[in-house]
Amino acid sequence: MNEKSELLKDVLSRARYEVSKVIIGQTEVVEQALIAIFTNSHALVEGVPGVAKTLLVRTLAHILGCEFNRIQFTSDLMPADITGTHVFNLKENTFNLVKGPVFTTFLLADEINRAPAKTQSALLQAMQERKVTIDRTTHFLSPNFTVFATQNPIEFEGTYQLPEAQKDRFMFKVSMDVPDREDELSLAQRMLGDESPENILASGAVQPVISAEDLIELREGLRGIKMSDELLGYVVDIVRKSRQHKAVLVGAGPRATQSLVLASRARATLSDRDFVTPDDIKYMAGPVISHRLILRPEFEIEGMTVAEAVSDILQNVVVPR
């Protein structure tokens, strides 16, 4: 590895250690969240209430020295509630911009599917271009601006399905499951004293590992991760196969190809390697592709899931030697 790649590997390792002080278990989820951040992408986080979705993002923001804001999406939320608006100042006789919560580094869009499409779309420009337009004036966001949007997978009453254009802007969907018995027992034991996850984060026991300014430079370390032409072809074949699979009505687009390349390189770094393997690509293919697929109704009726479709796609693509 080159010097920047080594530094990136060290920072990722320390970040995982600091997160583990607060978040019990959820190793894969933490890794995928870090991959989204260090590839300058966004993530859709799905999980039932109480699995520490908000706490995870708050902890990552603290560890990486970044500002954190949260929006609770509701059916009456308006686009201006996200981006901000101009308010007339009687004293100065001028309109002053009151910035919305989107002006931050890490934004948690809590239960994003509870707001109508008009409000959800207010995030599209911010996610893609890292800038927002308010009253015909463009304002730039932090170059590290990252959206973590949460969804509750079991409660769909009063929700609006995310538009395909918006789902495609998320690098992948992170699924947070309930902890296993050992991890849940550890959490219960912590609650007997002053070592609850919230208290640990507030106590200062969790140390920042870098500042927000360092993130941009650290991302250059991913360029030192080698990826052969054969593996690039493997990525392209997987994404193209998703468009041709018999059970898939709408497959993944070219943005999925870009995301899978970036995610595979980041996972190689997390695995302490300076080269990508087919296993890195297969491991990341599910999170990257699954939320972009729409199954044909007849296959959904038969009980096929998106996960099963992705597994079948991977089995039908030749793995390079």
Name the domain count of the chain: 2
pLDDT of residue 143: 92
pLDDT of residue 288: 95
Domain identity same for 9 and 90: yes
Confidence of residue 261 (pLDDT cuts 50, 70, 90): very high
Domain identity same for 212 and 232: no
Domain identity same for 48 and 192: yes
pTM for the full predicted model: 0.89
The whole domain housing 179 covers 3-219
Chain segment 135-187, per-residue pLDDT in tens: 888 899 999 999 999 988 776 666 778 878 888 999 999 888 888 899 889 88
What are the helix (H) ranges across 64-138? 79-83, 117-120, 124-129
Instruction: State yes or no: pLDDT of 50 exceeds 90.
Output: no
Instruction: Decide which of 219, 238, 253 is a domain's last residue.
Output: 219
Question: Do residues 35 and 267 lie in contact, with contact meaning Cβ atoms separated by under 8 Å?
Answer: yes
Question: Do residues 126 and 141 lie in contact, with contact meaning Cβ atoms separated by under 8 Å?
Answer: yes
Tokens 């004036």 map to which residue? 137
Instruction: Decide which of 219, 249, 267 is a domain's last residue.
Output: 219
Domain identity same for 182 and 239: no
Nearest-5° angle of CA 35, CA 38, CA 40? Answer: 105
Domain identity same for 23 and 152: yes
Q: How many CB atoms lie within 10 A of CB 120?
A: 24
Domain identity same for 116 and 260: no
Chain segment 4-15, per-residue pLDDT in tens: 778 888 888 899
> What is the rounded radius of gyration, in angstroms, for the C-alpha atoms of the chain?
20
Distance from chain centroid for Cα 301: 30
SS3 169: coil
Beta strands at 248-250 and 294-295: parallel, antiparallel or unpaired: antiparallel
Instruction: State yes or no: pLDDT of 1 exceeds 70.
Output: no
Domain identity same for 15 and 74: yes
SS3 305: coil
pLDDT of residue 5: 77
